[in-house]
Amino acid sequence: AAKEKGKNRFLFYNQQSDKFQRRLKLEQGLRKALQNQEFMLHYQPIVNVATGEIIGTEALIRWEHSSGIISPLEFIPIAEETGLISPIGDWVLRSACAQNKHWHDLGYTTLFVSVNLSVRQLEEEDLLKSIQRILMETGLDPRFLHIEITESTAMTNVNQAIPLLKALGEMGVSISIDDFGTGYSSLSYLEKFPIHTIKIDQTFIHSNQMAIIKAIVAMASSLNLNVIAEGVEIENQSRQIQETGCSVMQGHWFSKPVCSQRLESFLRNPEAL
Q: Which of 38, 64, 141, 233 binds ligand C2E (CB under 6 A)?
A: 233
Restricted to residues 50-109, the positions that interact with Ca ion (CB under 5 A) are: 86
DSSP string for residues in 213-232: HHHHHHHHHHTT-EEEE---
Cβ atoms of residues 205 and 180 within 8 Å: no
Residue 44 interacting partner from Ca ion, ligand C2E, none (CB closer than 5 to 8 Å by kind): ligand C2E
CA dihedral sign of residues 215, 217, 222, 228: positive
Q: Which residues of 3-29 are buried (b: 16+ CB within 10 A; e: fewer)?
A: eeeeeeeeeeeeeeeeeeeeeeebeeb
Q: What residues from 218 to 237 belong to the interface with Ca ion (CB under 5 A)?
A: none
If one asks whether residue 178 binds ligand C2E (CB under 6 A), the answer comes out as: yes
What is the three-state SS of 94-132? HHHHHHHHHHHHCCCCCCEEEEECCHHHHCCCCHHHHHH
45 binds ligand C2E (CB under 6 A): no
Of 154, 178, 200, 249, the one binding Ca ion by CB under 5 A: 178
Q: How far is the CB of 251 from ligand C2E (least distance, A)?
A: 3
Alpha carbons 13 and 143: distance in angstroms, whole number: 52
Choose among ligand C2E, Ca ion, none what residue 130 binds, the Cβ cut-off being 5 to 8 Å by kind: Ca ion
Minimum distance between the CB of residue 214 and ligand C2E, rounded to whole angstroms? Answer: 20
- With CB under 5 to 8 Å by kind, the binding choice for 151 among ligand C2E, Ca ion, none is none
Give the residue at shortest CB distance from ligand C2E.
251
SS3 content of the chain, % helix, strand, coil (to 5): 55, 20, 25
| 231 is a site residue for ligand C2E (CB under 6 A) | yes
Cβ-proximal residues to 186 (8 Å cutoff; 6+ apart), any chain: none
User: Closer to Ca ion at the Cβ: 140 or 228?
Assistant: 228
Under the rule (CB under 5 A), what is the footprint of Ca ion? 86, 116, 124, 126, 130, 148, 178-179
Under the rule (CB under 6 A), what is the footprint of ligand C2E? 44, 60-61, 71-73, 76, 92, 116-118, 178-179, 231-233, 251-252, 257
